């Protein structure tokens, strides 16, 4: 392969990616705004027209910002590679890039839950009460142990509610945003946590880590091969400095990899949505599915999530199923269970 051939392939893929993403963004804008003035029938009594319109306007602003970001990112990538800017600054960037990546991974996996996160937010033990009682009962039923239950002051930055698991080994803990505790009832919080435990029980994190490890192995193998191919550097406008070929290859590979992997986006989104359905089903087996349903409705309102996403846009990007689909599945689960209150409770 010649450098010109690879340059042409890169430009065509980048242009295709930008065109497809722009097309999907325009579909999303058009679909959401077409349904802005009418709440879906299934939510007519639970979502006001004002909340529905606020979500549509928020989606429009977010998609418009995404379009601008796409344009800037694509142009910047061209300037860095074919424009030759990377050649001028490669020695400094390569060194900083490698150090930053190592520190970032170390921070996320080991230092974040106990050392870094408390620098930005305050974490306090969950107080005694109905929420803690319900949560501890759920954890006992599910056989899940953690270092403790904590409340984070997420309200100082946002009104959005959330809950998550974090840490590894002895540092493993469950964290609730104070906004979530304020928005949901104890039963709804229990249902949301049961959903997260569903991810744990189905080993979704392990599966994703294994996939990530397999992908990393394949990517490193590919990197080792292209590292010795002159067309890889010259086709992307880079002339490695003496002694910096390895670092330059890693930097260049990291910059352009997303362009070549974009076709996998719909598959990864589909896989993630299947995990969400499995976690919802687990939650319905441990708690009342109606509690998770009502919690989702409240979170949809709070997060200004649209109830009417474009189906194709959602299929490509959404890691979580749209709320109407998730709630329809939960209602079906309630019918299949034959009771609104699972025997486990």
Q: Which of 57, 153, 178, 196 is catalytic?
A: 196
> Between the CA atoms of 326, 332, 337 and 340, what dihedral angle is there, to the nearest 10 degrees?
80
Q: Which two tokens stand for residue 88?
A: 């001028």
234, with CB counted inside 10 A (0-12, 13-18, 19+), is middle
The stretches of 143-203 forming alpha helices (DSSP H) are 178-183, 186-201
* Whole-angstrom distance, CA of residue 98 vs CA of residue 106: 13
CB 303 within 8 A of CB 192: no
- To which residue do tokens 């107080």 refer? 127
* Whole-angstrom distance, CA of residue 46 vs CA of residue 42: 9
Q: Which of 190, 276, 280, 291 is catalytic?
A: 280
Beta-bridge partners for 177: 152
Respond yes or no: is residue 188 known to be catalytic.
no
Tell me the chain's radius of gyration from C-alpha atoms: 23
Respond yes or no: is residue 153 known to be catalytic.
no
Catalytic (active-site) positions: 196, 280
């Amino acid at each position: 392969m010649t450098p010109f051939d690879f340059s042409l392939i890169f430009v065509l893929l980048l242009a295709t990616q930008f065109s497809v993403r722009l097309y999907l963004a325009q579909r999303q804008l058009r679909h959401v705004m077409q349904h802005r003035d009418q709440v879906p029938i299934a939510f007519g009594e639970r979502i006001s027209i004002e909340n529905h319109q606020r979500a549509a306007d928020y989606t429009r602003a977010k998609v418009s910002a995404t379009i601008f970001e796409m344009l800037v990112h694509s142009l910047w990538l061209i300037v860095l590679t074919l424009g030759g800017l990377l050649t001028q600054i490669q020695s400094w960037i390569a060194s900083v890039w490698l150090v930053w990546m190592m520190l970032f991974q170390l921070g996320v996996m080991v230092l974040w839950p106990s050392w870094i996160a408390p620098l930005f937010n305050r974490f306090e033990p969950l107080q005694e009460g109905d929420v803690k009682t319900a949560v501890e009962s759920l954890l006992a039923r599910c056989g899940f142990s953690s270092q403790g239950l904590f409340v984070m002051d997420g309200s100082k930055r946002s009104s959005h509610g959330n809950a998550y698991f974090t840490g590894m080994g002895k540092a493993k803990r469950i964290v609730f945003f104070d906004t979530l505790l304020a928005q949901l009832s104890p039963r709804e919080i229990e249902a949301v946590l049961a959903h997260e435990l569903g991810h744990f029980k189905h080993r979704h994190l392990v599966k994703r880590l294994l996939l990530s490890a397999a992908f990393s192995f394949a990517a490193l193998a590919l990197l080792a091969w292209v590292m010795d191919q002159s067309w890889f550097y010259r086709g992307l406008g880079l002339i490695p400095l003496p002694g910096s070929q390895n670092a330059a290859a890693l930097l260049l590979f990291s910059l352009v990899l997303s362009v070549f992997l974009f076709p996998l986006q719909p598959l990864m989104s589909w896989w993630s949505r299947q995990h969400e359905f499995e976690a919802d089903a687990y939650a319905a087996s441990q708690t009342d599915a109606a509690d998770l349903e009502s919690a989702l409705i409240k979170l949809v309102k709070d997060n200004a999530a649209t109830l009417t996403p474009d189906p194709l846009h959602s299929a490509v990007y959404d890691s979580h199923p749209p709320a109407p689909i998730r709630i329809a599945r939960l209602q079906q689960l309630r019918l299949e269970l034959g009771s609104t209150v699972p025997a486990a409770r």
